[in-house]
Amino acid sequence: MRSVGICRKLLLGAIFGFAAWGCSSSSGGGGGSGGSTNPPAGSGGSASGGSGGGPTASGGAITTTPSGGATGRGGAPGAGGTSGTGGVQGTGGASSRTGGSAAGGASSSGGSGRGGASAGTGGARTGGTGAGGAGTGGAIADGGGTAPGGDCTIGTWPTADPSKAGPYKTVTENDVGPTAGDAPDGGTAPRFTMFRPDNLAEVQLCHPLITWGNGTGSTPSMYGTLLKNFASHGFVVIGSNNTNVARGNPPPMIVGVTWVLEQNEDPSSKLYHRIDTTHIGATGHSQGAMATTTASGDSHIVTSIPIEGANVQKNLHGPAMFFCGGGDTIVGCSGAQSALTAVTTLPAMYAELIAVDHGSWMSRGSTLSVADTTFTAWMRVHLMGDTALRTWFYGADCKLCTDSAWNIDRKNMDQ
């Protein structure tokens, strides 16, 4: 671990704060190469929380950025679980459904049925506790069936290179959704920023959802390279603009999920019947990593990546990667190690990228960092069924396991 002078420690403490279980961890400022923990170039430093004054439905200004690459379309629905027909058909024709469970794993709870039907249960693509032991984390559970309402299909997405932008042009919508979390100085609590594919109907597949948590004093814009990359691959990302995202009851990361699921049922919303309600992930940095482990206790969250910080969460509902930097002197890696120790039957990975510190894992400009590429691959495997990337994490000789840049420890991921 690199040595750090006393003056630098004082500066880092002022910027990030120290990690606290549940609500006041260090900030999300990304360090530059060589260990600097200043915010990335062009970010303007730590962003302040929004006032939440924009219109509820349309949000504030919208910016569109090309992701590069040819536009992908369609993709064959994944084989695997057998589509069930169970559930009583509700008024308006919506019916509940049951997806097959993952090989060796228990199915996760799905989203509510549309048009008044009772909630269905969609099989988790990965992990879960199977009869006789832990799930393998690799089988695709859904059978490619049409989502309730017939507007999109839940199935396997075509494989893609996580080190590059995906095929979809993205849009960023500012100040959308409800206010959430603590209000600054007695004012109005901030709302959300959403990163998503510009044309959600470009593919027939339903889009998985990722809820994001910022580091202390930061907003989603500081992590724009990663979050836009998620969107370019087909994910819808919702991130609170609150600069203390671990605070609030209910927590902002869960408020964001709830709002997106409501929009999925609102005919006036662009998200209407375009969200895969059975495959929702959570990830966040520093204080947002603590918030991520808290959010992972919610049954909607089927996979998670706490980044540079973690609490013990004994009520996980799917695979988790606990990421830390080997040079992190702000939070360190002990929380991530403890979080792995607490896992019993689900697939879980302690992933230490040895050469980075608390913020230097972050991407710069349009070039994806090793860490951001890895996060994208993890979400593709566990939320999109991208089995071509599964060997990055699973199996005795997984890609990260044999890469000297990483220090890896795992549970229930040998196969």
Q: Read off the DSSP letter of residue 402.
A: T
User: Can you name the residues that pair with 171 across neighbouring β-strands?
Assistant: 64, 196
What's the pLDDT tens digit per position in 238-267? 999 999 999 999 999 999 999 999 999 999
Q: DSSP assignment, residue 376?
A: H
> pLDDT digits over 67-102, tens only?
333 333 333 333 333 333 333 333 333 333 333 333
Beta bridge partners of 64: 171
Residue 164 has what DSSP assignment? S
Helices marked H in 325-414: 334-342, 370-384
**3-class state of residue 252 by DSSP:** helix
* CA–CA separation, 380 and 238 (whole Å): 17
Residue 181's nearest CA partner among 213, 223, 210 is: 213
Which domains does the chain carry?
6-71+167-361+377-411 (3.40.50.1820), 76-156 (no CATH)
Which residue's entry shows tokens 């794993």?
A: 105
Q: Residue 410 above 50 pLDDT? A: yes
* pLDDT surpassing 70 at residue 389: yes
The predicted model scores a pTM of 0.69
Question: How far are the Cα atoms of 16, 180, 218, 372 from residue 183, in angstroms, in the given order?
Answer: 20, 8, 15, 30
The conformation of residue 205, written as its DSSP 8-state character, comes to: B
pLDDT at 115: 35
d(CA 87, CA 116): 11
Share of the chain above pLDDT 90, in %: 61
The two tokens of residue 305 are 């990546």
Q: Which residue has the higher pLDDT, 50 or 414?
A: 414
